[in-house]
Chain A
Amino acid sequence: MSYIPHTEAEIKSMLAAIKVNSVEDLFSDISPDLRPKSFALPEGRSEFEVMENFRRLAAKNATGLVNFLGAGFYDHFIPAAVDSLADRPEFYTAYTPYQPECSQGWLQSIFEYQTAICELTGLESANASLYDGGTALYEAAMVAVRATGRKKIIMDSGVNMVYRSILYSYTSNLQIEFVETPVVHGQSSREEIFRVLDDRTAAVIVQNPNFMGAVDDHADIVDKAHSLGALVIQSVYPLALGMLKSPGETGVDIATGEGQSLGLPLSFGGPYLGFMACRKQLVRKMPGRIVGETVDRDGKRGFVLTLQTREQHIRREKATSNICSNEALCALRAVIYLSLVGKQGLRELCELIYRKAEFAKTMFERVPGVEVKRSSPTFNEFTVRLPQNADSVVSRMIDKGYACGFPLGRFYKGMDNYLLVAVTEKRTKEDIVKMIESLEAVLCA
């Protein structure tokens, strides 16, 4: 019996203690008419056989592609120590740290994670993590609605289309009014945002760098929004904050984002890591778990889950959110990653990635008929216009061993020839040069 320790003799003695004759007697509340109509599952297999089966499945997936595909989810290098530490079973086989005395390892790690997120974003408070960057953005929008008592949200269309869709799905029964504003020359349209921004607006939501890779400075939007009592929410790429102006320096009220770039594998879409940081005044409106510092009976420092009166297990239908499980193990990976990379290392890593991406731009520009969009600065991802349909070019490049980027036409009307290209520290000069050679061949064919 797999993972079940009971011997026949033990089962007998336990049944005797319970004073029933058989295990089936324990299920007598489930009368015959409530029993399964079917339970036609395959019989179990040995560990070896199951492993073999998954080796076969894993081999059906392509791992050899040279990756320039990003669109919010990036192929960064993960130091070995991240895996080694996060794979400790005292971390991964624990539950939410409800009992602080026997969970100080988890609680302190999350406290350190919250500190690291505050430092990266330049904001004062952070929670213990959320599911992913998209649901974190939705939660931030709801914080703004609660904090302002308003129901209108201005959404920049530079925000990842999937994230926008998640927000629209979640709020479809809540009478929230969304106004979407366009991206002009790669950047958030001030003209349009300032036109629709008013004293009914709960928040303006922007992304930096935006989905097309453009880096922006949203400080002017913050000033205008604050003058009308609205909040600004910025979805950010956390790794890029080693270099780019932080949400705190920009003056935004809430920062969220996808933490996958901080030491998490791509893993076909999850688990990922939603993070959220905000100004101090908003902390009691935040969703999710929060760890705080306190002292024990001897005055010794310790950590606990705190501000729990916001949460579903206490407040039930009046809670700030329904979140129970979050992504603690992913948050642990992030704080270990950030500790390993360190203050100086993060800056150097960002510089390197930026230089590689800029080099890739110059290489694209050598290809006849290809135009690199340069109206805004970019960090690691940029947009190029191809002389042909990007969808088809991407498909032909796959045959040559390259995931050369994301065809923007999939998310944006009228951008069928545009390709979004991502570069990480893992792409060598040779990778870039050879990819460009293949692209030239594909475009000429």
Chain B
Amino acid sequence: MRLIFEKSVTGRSAFSVPRCDVPGEPKIPRKYLRKTAARLPEVSELDVVRHYSNLARKNFSVDTNFYPLGSCTMKYNPKFTERIAAMEGFLSLHPLLPQLRGGGLLTQGALEVIYQTERLLCEITGMEAFTMQPLAGAHGELTGAMLIAAYHKDRGQKRKYVIVPDSSHGTNPASAAIAGYEVIVIPTDKTGCMDFTEFKKNLNQDTAAVMLTCPNTLGIFNSRIKEICDEAHKVGALVYYDGANLNAILGKSRPGDLGFDVVHINLHKTFATPHGGGGPGAGPVGVGEKLVEYLPVSRVMQRPDGTFALSYNHPKSIGYIAPFYGNFSVILKSYAYIMRLGRQGLIDVSEKAVLNANYCRVKLKDEFDVPYDRICMHEFVISASRQKEGGVSALDIAKLLIDNDIHPPTVYFPLIVKEALMVEPTETESLQTLDRFVGVMKEAARLSREAPQSLTQAPLSMPIKRLDETRAAREPRLRWELDSDNR
């Protein structure tokens, strides 16, 4: 499909500029003005509408396809929350209003949303307090790492290391490094958990924190998790909970009760806000008692009279980590979702997410290697290593799924499993959908034995075939050039 820029026709326009109702023809001195106009598209409104409508149709999405992308929790996003976010009383609200004298009274509804969501997340995770500010999961991790650094600094300690297991999300080591820490990686043992002996060997007075995902990216809940937290605390280290997989344990376990000091939650995973093609998300951070005073400013407080206000007077705070109060409309949608489901609804979420994952695991284990074959939580990892011997890779299987209108699982992650396919069905998928997925996967296994060539050609039903990614990286073309040849 041609680019919107390639559809441009000189002199065409879609925009109706409001009438100028003020007198005067003031001019800015020329040296401050741009000399050549930005070459934006010159198109009609219908051109734009048709262009992006047709582009939309070239995407797989939760609303149109089964999307078992591991660790991303691609569950159904209820429609009513979109309507709430579009309510005028939220949509047009200027974020600086509550910072004006007398302005707080004009934003009581919005401040209440933030405050109440914080309280609900505290109860769900067992933490003492939350900040809703982090704008994505990784942003929450960075905030958490900064809180950990502030805590140690306040105690006059300069701890150097953050421990992560080798099954962790890439964001964990990256966030720790950006906060100024060196990263120590602990291998995974035969049961799929962080090797406890290796962990203890590397844990010492220089350890600032241990970052864990629980259940981990293999979908396994480490039954020694509390012991790990206790060991870390013994040497004065803190423990960080990566909430990417919280969808598995709602009402079944709480990071706060296990001994975690900091958690982040991906609202765009567990709490059903849409991922938006890669964002916006939201990564609120919860802390235990000893870290509350370091939380970023501003914080939302409830006054004795029941009204809500922003508070800035927190001398030990790590300061500003975002311009305002977080991705407000994302927070709003997750609050609505929690209110809609309630206590039992959230427990059901985890139970059915775990049920769906185990059902798929059991159905696939005859055809695929399951490196850690045990009851899993909300997701599991299979390996296409058996298929690989016949020349078919995890990627080939992924592409065959695309030809069957299924979005592939996460592939080649976690890094510790060869030819990994990480499957997270989520609770909102029906038995019929799971059976169809299982059927296609079994067909992939059969084809990889009988006709491996056919798999390496997939996908054939999409607007394009497999793309040359090496060429994209070697000769980066990151924007349209006016003089580039039209293909």
Q: Which residue of B lies closest to A346 (CB)?
A: B40
Residues of A within 8 Å of B427, CB to CB, are 3-4
B102 and A306 within 8 A (CB): no
B472 and A330 within 8 A (CB): no
A324 and B399 within 8 A (CB): no
Report the minimum CB–CB distance from A268 to chain B (whole Å).
4
Interface residues of B in 459-481 (CB under 8 A from A): 459, 462-469, 471-473, 476-480
Instruction: Indicate whether A326 sits within 8 Å of B136 (C-beta atoms), given known contacts A90-B63, A99-B402, A265-B91.
Output: yes
A135 and B278 within 8 A (CB): no
Q: Complex formed: what's the CA distance from A301 to B486 in Å?
A: 9
Report the minimum CB–CB distance from B152 to chain A (whole Å).
10
A97 and B277 within 8 A (CB): yes
A114 in complex: contacting residue of B33, B182, B479, CB < 8 Å: B479
A112 and B468 within 8 A (CB): no
Q: Complex formed: what's the CA distance from A111 to B24 in Å?
A: 40
Q: Is A197 an interface residue (CB 8 A)?
A: no
Interface string of B430-454 (1 = CB under 8 A from A): 1100000000000000000000000
Instruction: Indicate whether A325 sits within 8 Å of B355 (C-beta atoms), given known contacts A34-B257, A296-B468, A391-B101.
Output: no
Report the minimum CB–CB distance from A291 to chain B (whole Å).
7
Report the minimum CB–CB distance from B172 to chain A (whole Å).
8
B280 and A327 within 8 A (CB): yes
Q: Is B99 an interface residue (CB 8 A)?
A: yes
Q: Complex formed: what's the CA distance from A92 to B413 in Å?
A: 24
Q: Is A228 an interface residue (CB 8 A)?
A: no
Q: Is B390 an interface residue (CB 8 A)?
A: no
Instruction: Indicate whether A336 sits within 8 Å of B14 (C-beta atoms), given known contacts A4-B352, A6-B430, A328-B279.
Output: no
A69 and B94 within 8 A (CB): yes
Q: Which residue of B lies closest to A123 (CB)?
A: B479
B275 and A352 within 8 A (CB): no
A128 and B459 within 8 A (CB): no
Interface string of A79-104 (1 = CB under 8 A from B): 10100110111111111111111111
Interface residues of B in 242-276 (CB under 8 A from A): 249, 251-254, 257-258, 268, 272, 274-276
Q: Complex formed: what's the CA distance from A330 to B142 in Å?
A: 22
User: A-B contact count, CB below 8 Å?
Assistant: 699
A129 and B279 within 8 A (CB): yes
Q: Is B391 an interface residue (CB 8 A)?
A: no
Residues of B within 8 Å of A233, CB to CB, are none
Q: Complex formed: what's the CA distance from A241 to B126 in Å?
A: 48
Q: Is A231 an interface residue (CB 8 A)?
A: no
Interface residues of A in 27-44 (CB under 8 A from B): 27-31, 33-44
Q: Is A58 an interface residue (CB 8 A)?
A: yes
B342 and A44 within 8 A (CB): yes
Q: Which residue of A lies closest to B318 (CB)?
A: A169
A336 and B359 within 8 A (CB): no
Q: Which residue of A lies closest to B65 (CB)?
A: A102
A359 in complex: contacting residue of B24, B36, B375, CB < 8 Å: B24
Residues of B within 8 Å of A227, CB to CB, are none
A132 and B21 within 8 A (CB): no
Instruction: Indicate whether A403 sits within 8 Å of B100 (C-beta atoms), given known contacts A135-B135, A325-B137.
Output: yes
Q: Is A270 an interface residue (CB 8 A)?
A: yes
Instruction: Indicate whether A67 sits within 8 Å of B13 (C-beta atoms), given known contacts A1-B348, A313-B413, A394-B100.
Output: no
Q: Is A341 an interface residue (CB 8 A)?
A: yes
Give chain B's interface residue range (CB within 8 Å of chain A): 35 or more
A63 and B278 within 8 A (CB): no
Q: Is A172 an interface residue (CB 8 A)?
A: yes
Q: Which residue of B lies closest to A167 (CB)?
A: B320
A304 and B63 within 8 A (CB): no
Q: Is A193 an interface residue (CB 8 A)?
A: no
A343 and B40 within 8 A (CB): yes
Q: Is A246 an interface residue (CB 8 A)?
A: yes
Q: Is A266 an interface residue (CB 8 A)?
A: yes
A95 and B100 within 8 A (CB): no
Q: Is A210 an interface residue (CB 8 A)?
A: no
A245 in complex: contacting residue of B33, B102, B222, B327, CB < 8 Å: B33
B278 and A271 within 8 A (CB): no
Stretch at the interface among A14-22, A149-157, A364-372: A14-22
Q: Is A300 an interface residue (CB 8 A)?
A: yes
A41 and B346 within 8 A (CB): yes
Stretch at the interface among B105-113, B196-204, B231-239, B284-292: B105-113
B328 and A270 within 8 A (CB): yes
Residues of A within 8 Å of B223, CB to CB, are 29-31, 34
A340 and B48 within 8 A (CB): yes
Give the residue among B1, B29, B136 with the most A Cβ atoms within 10 A. Answer: B136
B251 and A36 within 8 A (CB): yes
B72 and A95 within 8 A (CB): yes
Interface of B is mostly: loop
Interface string of A402-421 (1 = CB under 8 A from B): 01001100100000000000
Q: Is B88 an interface residue (CB 8 A)?
A: yes
Residues of A within 8 Å of B463, CB to CB, are 101, 104
Q: Complex formed: what's the CA distance from A140 to B110 in Å?
A: 32
Residues of A within 8 Å of B319, CB to CB, are 165-166, 168-169, 172
Q: Is B316 an interface residue (CB 8 A)?
A: no
Report the minimum CB–CB distance from B272 to chain A (whole Å).
8
Interface string of A107-129 (1 = CB under 8 A from B): 01101101110111010111011
B52 in complex: contacting residue of A1, A245, A336, CB < 8 Å: A336
Instruction: Indicate whether A300 sits within 8 Å of B464 (C-beta atoms), given known contacts A59-B109, A60-B109, A85-B48.
Output: yes
Q: Is B39 an interface residue (CB 8 A)?
A: yes
Report the minimum CB–CB distance from A63 to chain B (whole Å).
5
A272 and B323 within 8 A (CB): yes
Residues of A within 8 Å of B36, CB to CB, are 122, 249
A34 and B41 within 8 A (CB): no
Residues of B within 8 Å of A375, CB to CB, are none
Residues of A within 8 Å of B465, CB to CB, are 101, 296-298, 300
Q: Complex formed: what's the CA distance from A39 to B102 in Å?
A: 37
A249 in complex: contacting residue of B35, B359, B480, CB < 8 Å: B35
Q: Is A323 an interface residue (CB 8 A)?
A: yes
Q: Complex formed: what's the CA distance from A174 to B347 in Å?
A: 42
Q: Complex formed: what's the CA distance from A67 to B93 in Å?
A: 10
Report the minimum CB–CB distance from A341 to chain B (whole Å).
5
Q: Is A440 an interface residue (CB 8 A)?
A: no
Q: Which residue of A lies closest to B31 (CB)?
A: A217
Interface string of B12-31 (1 = CB under 8 A from A): 11110110111111101101
Q: Complex formed: what's the CA distance from A272 to B95 in Å?
A: 11
Residues of B within 8 Å of A314, CB to CB, are 170
Give the residue among B136, B339, B377, B472 with the most A Cβ atoms within 10 A. Answer: B472
Q: Is A395 an interface residue (CB 8 A)?
A: yes
Give the residue among B49, B96, B137 with the most A Cβ atoms within 10 A. Answer: B96
B327 and A270 within 8 A (CB): yes
Interface string of B337-374 (1 = CB under 8 A from A): 01111111111110110111011001100000000000
Residues of B within 8 Å of A398, CB to CB, are 100, 102-103, 106
A29 and B221 within 8 A (CB): yes
Q: Which residue of B lies closest to A13 (CB)?
A: B431
Q: Complex formed: what's the CA distance from A53 to B90 in Å?
A: 13
Q: Is B225 an interface residue (CB 8 A)?
A: yes
Stretch at the interface among A70-78, A177-185, A198-206: A70-78
Q: Complex formed: what's the CA distance from A316 to B179 in Å?
A: 13
Residue pairs across A and B with Cβ atoms less than 8 A apart, 16 shown, are A4-B349, A10-B431, A23-B355, A36-B254, A51-B83, A73-B95, A105-B59, A129-B279, A162-B320, A244-B34, A271-B280, A306-B473, A307-B476, A312-B170, A345-B15, A394-B102
The 9 closest A-B pairs by CB, nearest first: A269-B324, A44-B342, A58-B89, A329-B276, A60-B109, A345-B15, A269-B95, A271-B280, A173-B180
16 more contacts with CB within 8 A, not counting A95-B72, A379-B28, are A1-B352, A4-B427, A18-B358, A36-B251, A47-B340, A94-B277, A166-B323, A173-B179, A244-B32, A304-B472, A324-B171, A325-B281, A330-B280, A342-B42, A344-B11, A410-B99
